């Protein structure tokens, strides 16, 4: 979608006609507009293109079966732009995507002999963040730093990426949890 957005903006800046098949027959051209209105028209078209792209992006994101772990953190496709940090350490990326050295995902891909965490439950991102007894102490520290109101929220995952103090606590939890995990996996 970002490629389409960039192409449309480029076409509008150059004054060429832009056809975007995925966006309800949207055909844009600033070539026939006088200089007095060209800038105004272009800015208005930027806004319309932005709305259409976000609508299409949301529809695809909701309908997709892929990236459901990430979906639990970023349920609104455009919400990715509201994230506190776009530079995330590897441990955070593993939990937000559900990929990486998580045994359930590795088992699914045929790279591990079983999907189980050292505690005996399937090792998924949700398991590490919310359930695993091996990380209870780290989780308690994270929830204390995040704050009680966040703990009561129904969808706590999006809050972990959209609130600065919650993100810092989550990042520290993720890094400490994977550091601990790596030391326990060596013995496995």
Confidence at residue 22, expressed as pLDDT on a 0 to 100 scale: 64
Please enumerate in sequence order all residues whose Cβ is within 8 A of that of 36, keeping only pairs 6 or more positions apart, or say none: none
Rg (CA), the chain: 22
Of 12, 40, 174, nearest to 96 (Cα)?
174
Q: Which positions of the chain have pLDDT values less than 70?
A: 1, 17-38, 77-83, 85-86, 148-154, 185-188
Confidence at residue 24, expressed as pLDDT on a 0 to 100 scale: 55
Confidence at residue 165, expressed as pLDDT on a 0 to 100 scale: 86
Confidence at residue 141, expressed as pLDDT on a 0 to 100 scale: 94
Confidence at residue 81, expressed as pLDDT on a 0 to 100 scale: 62
**Is residue 56 within 8 Å of residue 1, measured between CB atoms?**
yes
């Amino acid at each position: 979608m970002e490629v389409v957005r960039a192409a449309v903006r480029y076409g509008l800046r150059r004054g060429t006609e832009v056809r975007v098949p995925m966006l309800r027959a949207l055909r844009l051209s600033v070539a026939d507009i006088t200089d007095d209105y060209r800038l105004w028209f272009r800015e208005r078209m930027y806004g319309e293109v932005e709305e259409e792209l976000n609508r299409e992006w949301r529809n695809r994101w909701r309908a997709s079966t892929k990236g459901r772990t990430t979906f639990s953190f970023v349920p609104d496709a455009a919400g990715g732009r509201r994230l506190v940090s776009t530079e995330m350490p590897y441990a955070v990326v593993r939990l937000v995507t559900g990929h990486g050295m998580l045994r359930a995902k590795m088992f699914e891909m045929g790279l591990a002999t079983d999907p189980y965490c050292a505690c005996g439950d399937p090792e998924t991102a949700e398991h590490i963040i919310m359930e695993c007894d091996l990380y209870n102490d780290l989780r308690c520290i994270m929830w204390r730093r995040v704050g009680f109101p966040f703990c009561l929220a129904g969808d706590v995952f999006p809050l972990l990426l959209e609130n600065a103090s919650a993100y810092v606590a989550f990042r520290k939890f993720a890094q400490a949890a994977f550091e601990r995990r790596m030391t326990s996996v060596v013995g496995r």
